[in-house]
Amino acid sequence: VDTLLVTGGARGIGAAVAALAAAHGYRVVVNYAESEGRARDLVSRIEAKGGAALALRCDVAQERDVVAMFETIDGACGPLAGLVITRA
Amino acid sequence: VTGGGARLEDLAAATLERVLAVNVAGSMLRAREAVRRMSTARGGSGGAGEWVHYAVSKGAIDTFTRGLAREVAREGIRVNAVAPGLIATDIHATSPIPQRLERMTERVPMRRPGTPDEVAEVVLFLLSPAAAYVTGAIVPVGAAAEPSRGRRRTNRKRKRGGRLAQLGERHLYTVMVGSSSLSSPTVKPRAGARDRRANLSRYFVLLFAPLLIAFGMQQHRGWMTRDANANDPWMYVASGRGDAIAIFDLVEAGTPQVGEITNVGPVPNGLALDKRGTLYVANWNANQDGGNVQIFPAGATIPSLTLTKNLTVPLTIAVDAHGNVLVVNRGSSPGVVIFPPGKTTPSHVLTGALWQSAEGVALDPAQNLYVADGSDVVVVTAGSAQPVSLHLQGLTGAVGITVDQINGNLFVSDRNVDKVFVYAPGHVQASYELDPSISSCDIIHGAKGFHTDIFVPDCFNGNVSVFHHNAKSPFEVLNVPAPGNEPGASQIALKPAGVP
């Protein structure tokens, strides 16, 4: 399974990308900064449809957070197949 | 300001900060001042416009997407951006100007805002193998939106900057990276691609930074930057004739000598440092048979291990990522002698008719081994014990060699013509030569500022010239007298910052 990271994935276009990618068979990592509720809802919706998703909080303005997020993904999902950056 | 031509994965946070501060923030401040003056001159109410800030960062992302796409295209990574037009998201609900969405809809030929799903479809296409040959693209998903008619009439001169930025009020730029598994399966990744794949996330980490800094957010220092308390980069120098190794501080002005290792010999020639700071010295004396390799743990002045087996004329040395000690041994049958870590008996002795005058040695990130060998360069592919000639053209006395760890270019010095030739991967003709004033014995790749720089010691005048990895002329020349009353360094090794 290819892992896809979507930053800003909890809202708007990011959320749409995450949901569609999960439907296409990607394991989706939904990165959010503040929208924890939306991120969890999205993950639940993806899982309800049989998809694989993971919500990770990361303030992408904090370099340490970014590095930690990638390390978490390395450990949990292995190498990334793709990255989608959205900003809202 | 370009930051010295480092590739993205080598970009130090501090450099990025400076580049963006100067290029992006600097441009914006200049623009602000210009707009202020212009609007005063006009006496109108034009003002700076609320989207100048956006227009600058949009341009930055366009440039970033195209530049990064070119940079990593050969590594199986594609980079594309999507430029959504008027999209109905919750952002518009929180817009400071209510009814903005409705007002802007009038300017969209389709007369409706797009949906996030309509953008997502394009994103998924770009991620998919169907887009295997698409990179560096900026795809507008915007129903061919056009600028406001009213303003265009009244303010023609400003339409280019002002209108585009205005329509782009809430354009979301999406940068995508697909790894080689998503690109065309018929494209064979070059050597080292697998290693890079494993570390792919390292590339991605940096993707965030330009976007962030372009928006003026707080940038945290510390990652890939030099810690004030860490050990400074040091350069170890041997002359190939003296009886000591001198150590110079690369950070301090004037590159002062900070130490010396004297328990070496008979004559230190080749030097290598591993990532733990262990120093490896290949010793050989022209006046007596037999040589050795001494291994000094970090900070030690007395060797912990001495290797002698199969070493008749050990000239140069390298240590691979697994700790294997690779010694170029000339002698009557030139070749490479390989010692496993901690062992005094070699596991491989690579000799044969192929070798001419084996001397300089270098490893690329995929652990392929390159040896400068007279009129050619010999490569021993990682995991193989079979040396192969590269059939490089134009060499007669290849002596020093290094591999640009970033783009795989081979730097080869030729003692017969006193030139350093640069060969791109897969090319047998040199693509360029370094500054002809450099007569080099050794040549290495190393750490100073960026770890992409190329260090070329000149054994005749005591200078070490430092080149950015893609520059023909040095950006700095260090004067470092070699020990043992010799004019200049023959061999050098670098200890990067942070290594004990």
DSSP letters spanning A4-68: EEEETTTSHHHHHHHHHHHHTT-EEEEEESS-HHHHHHHHHHHHHTT-EEEEEE--TT-HHHHHH
Read off the tokens for A35: 């929208």
Do A13 and B205 count as a contact with CB atoms less than 8 A apart? no
Looking at residue A81, the DSSP 8-state letter turns out to be S
Which residues of chain A neighbour B202 with C-beta distances below 8 Å?
70
A19 touching chain B per CB within 8 A: yes
For B256, B257, B367, B445, the CA distances from B495, given in Å and listed in that order, are 15, 14, 19, 11
For A51, A73, B176, the CA distances from A18, given in Å and listed in that order, are 11, 16, 13
In B, residues 344-383, which contact A (CB 8 Å cutoff)? none
Angle at B275 (CA atoms; ends B242, B424), nearest 5 degrees: 85
In B, residues 184-203, which contact A (CB 8 Å cutoff)? 197-198, 200-202
B54 classed as catalytic: yes
In A, residues 49-68, which contact B (CB 8 Å cutoff)? 60-64, 66-67
ipTM of the complex: 0.92
Contact in structure between B136 and B66 (CB atoms under 8 Å): yes
Q: Which of B54, B173, B280, B370 is catalytic?
A: B54
Q: Is the peptide bond before B129 cis (omega within 30 degrees of 0)?
A: no
Read off the tokens for B478: 């260090």
Task: Using DSSP, state whether A80 is helix, strand or coil.
Answer: coil
> Distance between CA B209 and CA A67 in Å, rounded?
11
Per-residue pLDDT of chain B (500 residues; tens, 9 = 90+): 444 556 666 767 766 666 666 555 655 555 555 445 444 343 433 332 333 344 445 566 677 777 777 877 776 677 787 877 777 765 545 555 556 666 677 777 788 888 888 888 988 888 887 888 888 888 888 766 544 443 333 333 333 333 222 333 333 343 444 333 322 222 233 333 333 333 332 222 222 222 222 221 112 211 222 222 334 567 788 766 667 888 887 777 778 888 888 888 788 888 888 878 899 999 887 777 678 999 999 888 889 999 999 998 898 899 998 899 999 998 788 899 999 999 999 999 998 888 888 888 988 878 899 999 889 999 999 888 889 999 999 998 888 888 887 778 898 888 888 788 999 988 999 999 887 666 656 666 554 433 457 788 777 777 888 887 778 888 778 887 777 656 667 778 877 666 66
Task: Using DSSP, state whether A69 is helix, strand or coil.
Answer: helix
Query: What is the β-pairing status of strands B432-433 and B444-448?
Result: unpaired
